[in-house]
Chains A and B, each alone.
Chain A
Amino acid sequence: MRIVVPMKAVPDLVEEIEITADGTGIDREYLKFVLNEWDDQALEEALLVKEATGAEVVALGLGSDPDIDASLYTAIAKGADRAVRLTGAGEVPDTATRARAVAGYLRDHPADLVITGVQAPDDLDGQLPATLGALLGHPHVSVVVSVALVTDPPEPPAVRVRQEFAGGRAAELVVDLPAVIGLQAARQAPRYAPISRIRQVMAAGGIEQVDPGLAPGSATGASGLAVRRMHAPEKTSHAQMLTGSADEVAGQIVDLLRSRGLVKG
């Protein structure tokens, strides 16, 4: 079995993110990029499936993502069999373009299972796994918290996944392969890769570079959406500390709720 894990580098959120002069993007020049945390979960789940089944795990990144090589080497250090860097998707691809680049690669190098992060800081709608499923014509499940190969019966090839819903409910689904999974959380916290091992992997090189060509998409080439203006988050007001005795504090809370119209009377 071959599992491909598409991964994305996103700005480290500890950085002060600034908007570019034209107001349509973020200034990427001095930003430190790190692996999207949900992709880290996706990789972990893929490695767990590998440990259970002996599957091959391929970490996949876009060459235009800053610092993506560090994440690809880390993936190998953690146990991925191969790492592939895709080119030809443009400077700052949007999610639709990213999906088409990944689909282009998967068209030539088919995978039995694609596991990727359910979302990313710049894709909070979680469009990537769904778009990828649509482009490939594979079934897709998102918000998944565990993936296991169905062995009984062994045919047709399928995985049993657990999908989380609101309110603490969950569903267990059996999905025929090939399929695309948008992973919410792996069964265990992502493993730690010692830096010395990452550095060994880096010294050995071994990231394969592929220009897959974009899979056919919409006429405009990308999502068809254009960013007109970006805004920094509005500063919210600070917390208000309530002081006094328990009764006084209770009174203040009641007054607050009344003044905001949250309770009547």
Chain B
Amino acid sequence: MPEHPGAVALEVTRTVFQGIDLAGKSLFYVVSTAVILVFLYGWYRRVDKYRQGRPAGRGATFWRAVRGKADVGPAGRRDTRTVGTLAASSTIARRDTSAGIAHFFIFWGFIVAFVATVILTIDHDIVGPVSNALFGHTDSFFHGPFFVVYSLTVDTFGFAFLVALVSMAVRRGIRRPFKLGYGRAQNPDQGYSRGRYVAGDWVFLGLLIAILVTAYLLTGARILSQGDPWFTALTPFGRTVAEIYSGLGMTPAAAATVHTYLWWVHAALALAFVAYIPYSKAMHILVDGVNLLASDRRATRDLPGPVPGADHAGYQQISDFTWKELLDLDACTKCGRCHDVCPARTAGAPLSPRDLILDLRQWVDTAEHGITLLDRESRPDATGPLAPAGEVPIAGGVIPAATLWACTTCMACVDICPVGVEHVPLIVELRRSLVEEGQMDPTLQTAMKNLATQGNSFGKSARMRARWTKGLDFTVTDARKEPVTYLWYVGDYASFDDRLQENSRLLARLLHDAGVSFGILYEDEWNSGNDVRRAGEEGLYEMLAEHNIAALAAAGFQEIFTTDPHTLNTLRNEYPARGASYTVWHYTELLAHLLDTGALPVRPLGRTVTYHDPCYLARYNEVVQAPRRILTALGCELVEMPRNRANTFCCGAGGGRIWMDDSMLTERPSENRIREAALLDVGYFVVSCPKDMTMYSDAAKTTGNDATLTVLDITRLVDEALVRPAPSVGAMDVLT
């Protein structure tokens, strides 16, 4: 094989180590070995950290995902991801198409570059020496058609890789979207600096760009030094560089010299990058695929129970975390999507899901003397996540209590995270620790005590739960005494809140008119425990659930429907783990069914409305069609808010927030939402959740929009459109 520079290679190939002498080669192999050792040590340190976590029960999830199998949610959206998701960068493209496309090319560009290197290694370092030892001549498959396809692939993917990297640099450096800003939601007293994060970002991007640029300069020099044989037409971008060199007057001999220098620069950069991977944000190349494939949205819908065998509630030490959660901490690439969508952050609360994850990562790194070089926050004083190990508790120290209590558990962060980080279950675990220590708002404490004594958060007598039915001209069936088709799980707000009881009566009348067989549990219905559980009071949740499950078991019904989406979530997704599996509907699903079947005859209302998707209905349980079907059936024109369906914006009441003080917020999430709706030309803000009714009625007033925007429950629209007297259709079939 011709080894001398400038020779015209008649064979269709290129020379590996062209222009590098034996000493150079030796040096390269020695340094490469060292780099691989540095890389493996870093990787070992990372894995060793994750191994401190307890079992996550995600191994099976991961392997199913690897086999391309996803578990789908109630309405067909995926709860788990597959290698397909990973290969398409589709989670990154979601609501940010250009970033997704750029990442797609970076992802595949990187893989192609990696595979190309592996192929070279196999050919040059395995096939060559082995064949030489066995047969006495050095074999190679790196020529002919294989080489041509190889060159074309590497050249084109490499160029797309470079273009994508440059576009990402432009995005980060010039376009600067809000989500890429590193300002904290919670400001430490003595200040902080995230300059090292920024440095880490640019070192990562810069190294990759430099590697690719030198690759093309190198290829161009090689092609020119080879005398530009015919087959270099299939290395179009490399050849273009060669033509530029040529145009600048470079001779093939000079190109060979340039090639040698560039070869060393390129090799040094590439090796530096490989060594750098486990010590930097480049770590996401190794971690995030695993994290995404092991992620499962169901863990947010149906929260994990207490840590088995623990002598304390919630999380207090690293070994309380599951390996998946420790992986979550490293998986974060600071893309800021969760920071962007978080209603708490938007409202000026001291919580950003991104900062929460980064702070926990920093805390683990501080405690474990982590290996991350840049990508750290610095503070003038060692507070919060920078405090020495064991000096401050995680919940209430590393992460301030006010930060943890700010979460509405709306799931927007989990939903948008492109790498499968599950923030909400982690926040609940930390809240469990706060509850254990009694660190909570007095108002929340009162609500909890009321729930423990009377089964409702209103502090009203349990026996008053069904008092709202008093104003009806018929008696609502007692499902404990008489079997019904549907058990209506009314919920605290629809039962006890004076402003909502009329709405509950309206729904009862509609169902009565439609001939639906339904009943309630009267005083045996207690709060389902959804918000209690998310507030971290697991014991109280267990108590409420045990009571309700016994009450449900003693009642006679076929299916359940709920008024409250939060209740729906817990009945549908969390009670089955305690042995109570029922078919659970939301009342909008039932109303939509009654309208479809003609059981509720209506006239068109012809109103222009907007509809607010409740988080626990749309994002958690994927019920988005039923309310829209109702609006269509009522002849209403639906004008969507920009944030709709799974991208809905929280009212601020979930996860127990409704029981806490929100005076520290600069703009309540509900006000932010009403302002979004006020920009549309609609007169009605339609809701389908009792908490939304109270939150948005208030927000319409406080933002001064109540004169032009009427907040009303979808039930009221159905009632207004109803053509009475409704024909009695008798007992109807169950929905399923």
- Show the binding face of A for B, using Cβ within 8 Å: 12, 14-16, 30, 32, 34, 189, 191-199
* Residues from chain A with Cβ under 8 Å of B453 in the complex: 12, 32, 34
Cβ-neighbour of B543 out of A14, A34, A192, A199 (below 8 A): A199
Contact of B436 with A195 in the complex, beta carbons under 8 Å: no
Cβ-neighbour of B313 out of A15, A30, A192, A196 (below 8 A): A196
Cβ-neighbour of B454 out of A32, A193, A194 (below 8 A): A32
* Residues from chain A with Cβ under 8 Å of B543 in the complex: 195, 199
Give the complex CA separation of A189 and B439 in angstroms.
12
Cβ-neighbour of B463 out of A30, A34, A192, A199 (below 8 A): A30
Q: Which of A30, A189, A196 has the most CB of B within 10 A?
A: A196
B445: nearest residue on chain A (CB-CB)? A192
Contact of B461 with A12 in the complex, beta carbons under 8 Å: yes
Contact of B461 with A194 in the complex, beta carbons under 8 Å: no
* Residues from chain B with Cβ under 8 Å of A14 in the complex: 454, 459-461
Indicate if B123 sits at the interface (CB-CB under 8 A): no
A34: nearest residue on chain B (CB-CB)? B453
Q: Residue-by-residue, is B242-275 near A (CB-CB < 8 Å gives 1, otherwise 0)?
A: 0000000000000000000000000000000000
Cβ-neighbour of A191 out of B438, B459, B462, B539 (below 8 A): B438
* Residues from chain A with Cβ under 8 Å of B20 in the complex: none
Indicate if B665 sits at the interface (CB-CB under 8 A): no
**Given known A12-B461, A14-B459, A15-B461, contact A192–B440 (CB-CB < 8 A):** yes
Query: What are some 11 contacts across the A-B interface (CB < 8 A)?
Result: A12-B454, A12-B461, A15-B461, A16-B464, A189-B442, A194-B537, A194-B539, A194-B540, A195-B543, A196-B539, A199-B542
Indicate if B375 sits at the interface (CB-CB under 8 A): no
* Residues from chain B with Cβ under 8 Å of A198 in the complex: 539
Indicate if B448 sits at the interface (CB-CB under 8 A): yes
* Residues from chain A with Cβ under 8 Å of B436 in the complex: 194, 197
Cβ-neighbour of B452 out of A15, A30, A195 (below 8 A): A195
Interface residues of B in 414-440 (CB under 8 A from A): 435-436, 438, 440
Give the complex CA separation of A30 and B464 in angstroms.
13
A200: nearest residue on chain B (CB-CB)? B539
**Given known A32-B462, A199-B539, A199-B543, contact A194–B452 (CB-CB < 8 A):** no
A191: nearest residue on chain B (CB-CB)? B438
Indicate if B306 sits at the interface (CB-CB under 8 A): yes
B492 to chain A, nearest CB (A): 14
A12: nearest residue on chain B (CB-CB)? B453
B532: nearest residue on chain A (CB-CB)? A195
Indicate if B201 sits at the interface (CB-CB under 8 A): no
Indicate if B538 sits at the interface (CB-CB under 8 A): yes
Interface residues of B in 577-625 (CB under 8 A from A): none
Contact of A195 with B462 in the complex, beta carbons under 8 Å: no
B119 to chain A, nearest CB (A): 58
* Residues from chain B with Cβ under 8 Å of A191 in the complex: 438
- Given A16-B463, A194-B435, 18 other A-B contacts at CB below 8 A? A12-B461, A14-B459, A14-B461, A15-B463, A16-B461, A30-B463, A32-B454, A34-B453, A189-B442, A189-B445, A191-B438, A192-B438, A193-B438, A194-B438, A194-B540, A195-B542, A196-B542, A197-B436
Contact of B539 with A195 in the complex, beta carbons under 8 Å: yes
Contact of B442 with A194 in the complex, beta carbons under 8 Å: no
What is the interface size of chain B, counting residues whose CB is below 8 A from a CB of the partner? 25
Interface residues of B in 292-317 (CB under 8 A from A): 306, 313
Q: Which of B436, B448, B539 has the most CB of A within 10 A?
A: B539
A102 to chain B, nearest CB (A): 25
* Residues from chain A with Cβ under 8 Å of B452 in the complex: 195
Give the complex CA separation of A32 and B455 in angstroms.
12
Cβ-neighbour of B448 out of A16, A192, A197, A199 (below 8 A): A192
Give the complex CA separation of A32 and B449 in angstroms.
13
Give the complex CA separation of A188 and B542 in angstroms.
29
Interchain residue pairs A-B with the least CB separation, the first 3: A196-B539, A195-B539, A195-B540
Give the complex CA separation of A195 and B462 in angstroms.
19
A192: nearest residue on chain B (CB-CB)? B438
* Residues from chain B with Cβ under 8 Å of A189 in the complex: 442, 445
A199: nearest residue on chain B (CB-CB)? B539
* Residues from chain A with Cβ under 8 Å of B442 in the complex: 189
* Residues from chain A with Cβ under 8 Å of B445 in the complex: 189, 192
Contact of A197 with B539 in the complex, beta carbons under 8 Å: yes
* Residues from chain A with Cβ under 8 Å of B540 in the complex: 194-196
* Residues from chain B with Cβ under 8 Å of A194 in the complex: 313, 435-436, 438, 537, 539-540
Give the complex CA separation of A165 and B440 in angstroms.
31
Q: Residue-by-residue, is B457-485 near A (CB-CB < 8 Å gives 1, otherwise 0)?
A: 00111111000000000000000000000
* Residues from chain A with Cβ under 8 Å of B538 in the complex: 196
Give the complex CA separation of A192 and B432 in angstroms.
13
Interface residues of B in 518-561 (CB under 8 A from A): 537-540, 542-543
Contact of A196 with B306 in the complex, beta carbons under 8 Å: yes
Contact of B454 with A195 in the complex, beta carbons under 8 Å: no
Give the complex CA separation of A35 and B220 in angstroms.
85
Contact of A195 with B537 in the complex, beta carbons under 8 Å: yes
Give the complex CA separation of A194 and B439 in angstroms.
11
Give the complex CA separation of A195 and B432 in angstroms.
11
A195: nearest residue on chain B (CB-CB)? B539
* Residues from chain A with Cβ under 8 Å of B463 in the complex: 15-16, 30
* Residues from chain B with Cβ under 8 Å of A199 in the complex: 539, 542-543
Q: Residue-by-residue, is B93-123 near A (CB-CB < 8 Å gives 1, otherwise 0)?
A: 0000000000000000000000000000000
Give the complex CA separation of A15 and B436 in angstroms.
29
* Residues from chain A with Cβ under 8 Å of B542 in the complex: 195-196, 199
A195 to chain B, nearest CB (A): 3
Q: Residue-by-residue, is B167-203 near A (CB-CB < 8 Å gives 1, otherwise 0)?
A: 0000000000000000000000000000000000000
Give the complex CA separation of A192 and B464 in angstroms.
26
Give the complex CA separation of A189 and B445 in angstroms.
10
B457 to chain A, nearest CB (A): 12
A33: nearest residue on chain B (CB-CB)? B453
Give the complex CA separation of A40 and B440 in angstroms.
18
Give the complex CA separation of A108 and B378 in angstroms.
62
* Residues from chain A with Cβ under 8 Å of B438 in the complex: 191-194
Give the complex CA separation of A195 and B448 in angstroms.
9
* Residues from chain A with Cβ under 8 Å of B462 in the complex: 32
* Residues from chain A with Cβ under 8 Å of B435 in the complex: 192, 194
* Residues from chain B with Cβ under 8 Å of A196 in the complex: 306, 313, 538-540, 542
A113 to chain B, nearest CB (A): 24
B181 to chain A, nearest CB (A): 38
Q: Which of A14, A191, A193, A195 has the most CB of B within 10 A?
A: A195
A185 to chain B, nearest CB (A): 14
B449: nearest residue on chain A (CB-CB)? A192
A10 to chain B, nearest CB (A): 12
B439: nearest residue on chain A (CB-CB)? A192
